[in-house]
């Protein structure tokens, strides 16, 4: 995903730095605090939240002309919420040696941030304790390498960092599309280890995939069309309707069809589960209006096809998020009339029965990130950062 400046629809700022409820802690980094740090909120956005939720990274595009001329166009901001009180939040910044930031991933211990830049041709390591940025690899003419062209770099459940893209030779010719592990303890071409040849995966599904979300090297959920003639074994085993799209789980050569529907609207996948919204029919829309759907249903389904519907009133819930370990799911209720959003969350231990996140009820539209454990979240609404626990 590429980071885009959040368009602020509602000019609302809540000037509260932090508060604690009886059930969970909520901490807010407000506009005055950000201004005191000389952060330009128009050039700012959140990126990652660590596995346990304590560390949050964000980016800022700098405005200083002299810094830009030296090749430094971005800063990495690090917010440490491990103290879980408003006064204990530690905030620091790191200058990044890049002109075009692409994506980032955090190691499980929250001590290393791995960044892709320059359209995926440069890999930068930020050591968070020392605030030191190091270029691990960058494209050079006449040298072989790897480019993260898809913009997908993430930490997998086993703790390894994977990047999706392609390997190329000394003549810049593509050798193969692949997912590569990236080792932040090394430098140069040796940081890359080919783990899965996505060329073979694409040969299996052809050009039929509308959406692919990798949850591990060689494992992904994907949605798209599947012709019965493509794989006789699948056609014989699964009697899906011609013309429907299918939700599939792919595990190193084996495809399992989980569901089918005419419209798959929203998705978010974890290790072994996915939350998604489907509909049988798209309603006619007037010019300037958003597409609406008849009787949308939001489900959580696991790779063994155990499924539960989480929107009991057939209302369209959007901005779905699944924690990477599959323990927690979030969905949002968007009000176009008031341009506000309300969030709900469910836990696997409670069969994903959704309940409101009270501190995120009817708030300004925002970006949201959920920790891998599903125990914490962070949002950015264009004015303030809100960090909260989910119990």
The pLDDT of residue 239 is above 90: no
Residue 217 and residue 195 in contact, taking contact as beta carbons nearer than 8 Å: yes
The pLDDT of residue 6 is above 90: no
Predicted pLDDT at 314: 82
Predicted pLDDT at 209: 77
The number of distinct structural domains making up the chain is: 1
Residue 322, helix vs strand vs coil? strand
- Using CA atoms, how far apart are residues 6 and 316, in angstroms rounded to an integer? 23
Structural domain contains residue 87: no
Structural domain contains residue 177: yes
Predicted pLDDT at 292: 84
What's the mean pLDDT in 373-380?
97
Residue found by looking up tokens 């989910």 in the block: 390
Predicted pLDDT at 7: 32
Residue 357 and residue 343 in contact, taking contact as beta carbons nearer than 8 Å: yes
Question: Of the given ranges (117-126, 237-246, 372-381), which has the lowest mean pLDDT?
Answer: 237-246
Please tell me what DSSP assigns to residue 64: -
What's the mean pLDDT in 267-278?
96
Structural domain contains residue 184: yes
The pLDDT of residue 351 is above 80: yes
The alpha carbon torsion through 182, 184, 190, 192 (nearest 10 deg) reads 0
Predicted pLDDT at 122: 97
The pLDDT of residue 15 is above 50: no
Structural domain contains residue 128: yes
The pLDDT of residue 289 is above 70: no
Residue 203, helix vs strand vs coil? helix
Structural domain contains residue 43: no
The pLDDT of residue 4 is above 80: no
Q: Which residue has the higher pLDDT, 8 or 195?
A: 195
Predicted pLDDT at 1: 40
- Using CA atoms, how far apart are residues 233 and 237, in angstroms rounded to an integer? 6
CB atoms under 10 Å from CB of 29, counted, come to 26
Predicted pLDDT at 220: 93
Predicted pLDDT at 11: 27
Strand pairing category for 307-309 and 297-302: antiparallel
Q: What is the mean pLDDT of the chain?
A: 87
The pLDDT of residue 77 is above 70: yes
Predicted pLDDT at 25: 92
The pLDDT of residue 14 is above 50: no
Predicted pLDDT at 142: 96
Question: Of the given ranges (109-123, 152-166, 184-198, 231-245), which has the lowest mean pLDDT?
Answer: 231-245
What's the mean pLDDT in 96-121?
95
Residue 303 and residue 258 in contact, taking contact as beta carbons nearer than 8 Å: yes
Domain CATH number, residue 113: 2.40.10
Both tokens of residue 274? 């996915």
What's the mean pLDDT in 75-101?
95
Residue 189, helix vs strand vs coil? helix
User: Domain range spanning residue 175?
Assistant: 97-196
Radius of gyration of the chain (CA): 22
Burial class (CB in 10 A: 0-12, 13-18, 19+), 147: buried
The alpha carbon torsion through 27, 32, 37, 41 (nearest 10 deg) reads 90
Predicted pLDDT at 315: 87
Query: What is the band of 318 on the pLDDT scale with cuts at 50, 70, 90?
Result: confident
**Helix (H), strand (E) at residue 332:** strand 328-335
Query: What is the band of 291 on the pLDDT scale with cuts at 50, 70, 90?
Result: confident
- Closest listed residue to residue 361, CA positions, set 391, 389, 347, 340: 340
Report pLDDT digits (tens) over 330-350: 999 988 778 899 999 999 999
- Closest listed residue to residue 366, CA positions, set 321, 328, 325, 299: 321
- Using CA atoms, how far apart are residues 100 and 368, in angstroms rounded to an integer? 22
The pLDDT of residue 87 is above 80: yes
- Using CA atoms, how far apart are residues 56 and 150, in angstroms rounded to an integer? 23
Predicted pLDDT at 378: 97
Considering only the C-alpha atoms of the chain, give the largest distance between any 2 of them, rounded to a whole number of Å: 64
Report pLDDT digits (tens) over 35-67: 999 999 999 999 999 999 999 999 999 988 888
What's the mean pLDDT in 79-84?
95
Q: What does pTM read for this prediction? A: 0.87
Report pLDDT digits (tens) over 172-221: 999 999 999 999 999 999 999 999 998 878 777 766 678 889 999 999 99
Query: What is the band of 71 on the pLDDT scale with cuts at 50, 70, 90?
Result: confident
> 95 in the Ramachandran plot: left (φ > 0), alpha (ψ -120 to 50) or beta?
beta
Share above pLDDT 70 across residues of the chain, in percent, rounded to a whole number = 88
Structural domain contains residue 91: no
Structural domain contains residue 41: no
Structural domain contains residue 146: yes
């Amino acid at each position: 995903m590429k980071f885009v400046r959040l368009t602020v629809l509602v000019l609302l700022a809540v000037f509260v730095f932090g508060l604690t409820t009886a059930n969970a802690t909520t901490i807010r980094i407000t506009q005055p605090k950000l201004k005191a740090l000389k952060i330009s909120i128009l050039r700012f956005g959140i990126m990652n939240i660590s596995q346990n939720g304590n560390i949050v990274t964000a980016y800022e595009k700098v405005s200083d002309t002299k810094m830009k001329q030296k090749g430094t166009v971005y800063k990495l901001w690090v917010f440490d919420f491990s103290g879980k009180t408003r006064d204990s939040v530690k905030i620091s910044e790191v200058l990044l040696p890049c002109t075009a930031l692409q994506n980032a991933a955090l190691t499980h211990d929250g001590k290393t941030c791995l960044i892709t830049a320059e359209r995926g041709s440069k890999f930068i390591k930020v050591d968070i304790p020392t605030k030191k940025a190091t270029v691990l690899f960058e494209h050079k003419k006449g040298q072989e390498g790897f480019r993260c062209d898809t913009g997908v770099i993430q930490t997998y459940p086993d703790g390894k960092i994977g990047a999706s893209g392609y390997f190329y030779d000394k003549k810049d010719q593509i050798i193969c599309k692949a997912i590569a592990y990236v080792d932040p303890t090394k430098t140069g071409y040796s940081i890359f280890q080919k783990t899965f040849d996505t060329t073979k995966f694409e040969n299996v599904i052809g050009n039929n995939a509308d959406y692919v979300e990798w949850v591990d090297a060689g494992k992904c959920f994907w949605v798209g069309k599947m012709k019965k003639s493509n794989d006789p074994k699948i056609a014989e085993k699964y009697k899906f309707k011609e013309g429907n799209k299918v939700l599939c789980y792919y595990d190193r050569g084996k495809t399992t069809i989980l569901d089918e529907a005419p419209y798959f609207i929203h998705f978010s996948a974890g290790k072994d589960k996915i939350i998604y919204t489907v509909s049988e029919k798209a309603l006619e829309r007037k010019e300037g209006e958003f597409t609406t759907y008849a009787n949308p249903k939001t489900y959580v389904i696991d790779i063994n096809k155990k499924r539960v519907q989480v929107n009991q009133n057939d209302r369209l819930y959007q901005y779905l998020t699944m924690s990477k370990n599959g323990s927690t799911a979030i969905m949002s209720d968007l009000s176009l009339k008031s341009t506000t959003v309300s969030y709900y969350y469910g836990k696997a231990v409670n069969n994903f029965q959704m309940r409101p996140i009270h501190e995120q009820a009817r708030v300004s539209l925002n970006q949201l990130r959920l920790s891998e454990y599903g125990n914490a979240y962070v949002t950015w609404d264009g004015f303030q950062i809100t960090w909260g626990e989910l119990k």
